[in-house]
Amino acid sequence: MKKKILFILVSVLIVSVLAACNGKSEDGLVNAENSADLSSLLQKGGASKYTYIYFGRPSCEYCQDFKPKLESSLKKTGTQALYYNTDEHRQDKDFTELMEKFDVTKIPYLVKIKDGAIVDSIFDVSKEQDITDFMNK
């Protein structure tokens, strides 16, 4: 019974995280409003399906090259990803802690989460097909 309640609470939390963001976008990217949105995804008993978080920034030329490929892959796979703009959140008090928690050492960086754990990640991929393959595996 406790597991059911926990699952329901986590499901509601994930839905509220996505709703708290800027809503569904045409390109499959949803802006993360704050680091708590992301940290909650690493809670035990998190989403039972895959969740993706894209770490990048507008001032990064590699991110600007990666983003359209990611958007296309998201559209092809019918998937959404949370977008964490590192320029926008750099002054957040828990920014460094969050980067460490998600093992972000380079950007662009795409992380795959399931059941409250990071299961895979990619960074600085040059081919759209590699992103699509990452999402499909």
How confident is the model at residue 23, as a pLDDT?
44
Higher local confidence (pLDDT), 79 or 44: 79
**Residue pLDDT, tens place only, 24-76:** 455 689 998 888 878 888 876 666 678 899 999 999 999 999 999 999 999 99
The Cα–Cα gap between 5 and 60 comes to: 42
The answer to whether residues 78 and 8 touch, using CB atoms and an 8 Å cutoff, is no
- Give every CB contact of residue 59 below 8 A, 6+ residues apart in sequence: 87
The answer to whether residues 46 and 14 touch, using CB atoms and an 8 Å cutoff, is yes
pTM: 0.78
Q: What is the mean pLDDT of residues 9-30?
A: 54
Architecture of the domain made up of 2-136: 3-Layer(aba) Sandwich (3.40)
Phi-psi map region of 59: left, alpha, beta (phi>0 left; psi -120 to 50 alpha): alpha
Give the residue among 134, 130, 123, 111 at the shortest CA–CA distance from 63. Answer: 123
**Residue pLDDT, tens place only, 95-130:** 999 999 999 999 999 999 998 889 999 987 889 999
- Give every CB contact of residue 26 below 8 A, 6+ residues apart in sequence: none
